[in-house]
Amino acid sequence: MERLPALERLTACLARLPGVGSRTAERMALRLVRDPGGLARDLAEALTEARSRVVGCSQCGSVTATDRNPCRLCTAPNRDDGLLCVVEDPNDILTIERCGGFRGRYHALMGRISPMKGSGPDDLRIQALRVRVGQGGLREVVLALNTDVEGDATASYIAHVLEGCGAKITRLAFGLPAGSGIMYSDAVTLRRALEGRQPA
Ligand SMILES: [Zn+2]
């Protein structure tokens, strides 16, 4: 097949998306350029619209509408401002919300410390967390990180960074399967893990 730089560029962009390998990116790109139903145009428009109307929440790091920043969860008046739940990924916020066992605020780190993936403390929203906790008013910071080696290392690092901040630092109780992520936990297990949280 002839080399087509435009197609190669599209493929390379798609391959940068999470969970998309080079073979899948190639198939997606071919489908996009050959689709007769206007898929490429629809996708381009949807991308442009989403990029202009959706931003990362300045407080929790989740996504929100451009004209509603901080997001609904960060501004809801009926939530406990003294309780902050720290998660790795904004998706974890949705999972915890669904289990219904938490009524405080959230802070997403946008990842975890992972030497294997070249992700260190400076790549995460740890400094933002420090500033937020430093503003005071928190009774407890719950570290709801995944239960594997990197999740544990990240939790220990944060517990160390927040030492002496005045708030109690806790972690989810055991009961979550070792090595599992928050997003794969069922609601009952997650609620129990939240209720039984222990000092970090
Ligand atoms: Zn928010």
Q: What is the per-residue DSSP string for 147-179?
A: SSHHHHHHHHHHHHHTTTSSSEEEEPPBTBPTT
Q: Quick: pLDDT tens for 101-112.
A: 899 999 999 999
User: Ligand 1 centre from 122 Cα, in Å?
Assistant: 21
Helices (H) and strands (E) counted in the chain, each on its own, are 8, 7
User: Ligand 1 centre from 106 Cα, in Å?
Assistant: 7
Region 26-34: mean pLDDT is 96
User: Ligand 1 centre from 44 Cα, in Å?
Assistant: 27
CB-CB contact of 109 with 87 (8 Å): yes
CB-CB contact of 29 with 1 (8 Å): no
- For residues 190 and 106, what is the distance between their CA atoms, to the nearest angstrom? 16
User: Ligand 1 centre from 105 Cα, in Å?
Assistant: 8
Q: Quick: pLDDT tens for 60-100.
A: 999 999 999 999 999 999 999 999 999 999 999 999 999 88
Residue recorded with tokens 């989810």? 172
State the pLDDT confidence band at 37, using cuts at 50, 70 and 90.
very high
- For residues 187 and 131, what is the distance between their CA atoms, to the nearest angstrom? 31
- For residues 200 and 154, what is the distance between their CA atoms, to the nearest angstrom? 11
Q: What is the pLDDT of residue 173?
A: 78
User: Ligand 1 centre from 179 Cα, in Å?
Assistant: 27
User: Ligand 1 centre from 28 Cα, in Å?
Assistant: 33
User: Ligand 1 centre from 153 Cα, in Å?
Assistant: 25
User: Ligand 1 centre from 4 Cα, in Å?
Assistant: 42
Q: Quick: pLDDT tens for 159-199.
A: 999 998 889 999 987 666 666 677 777 888 888 888 888 88
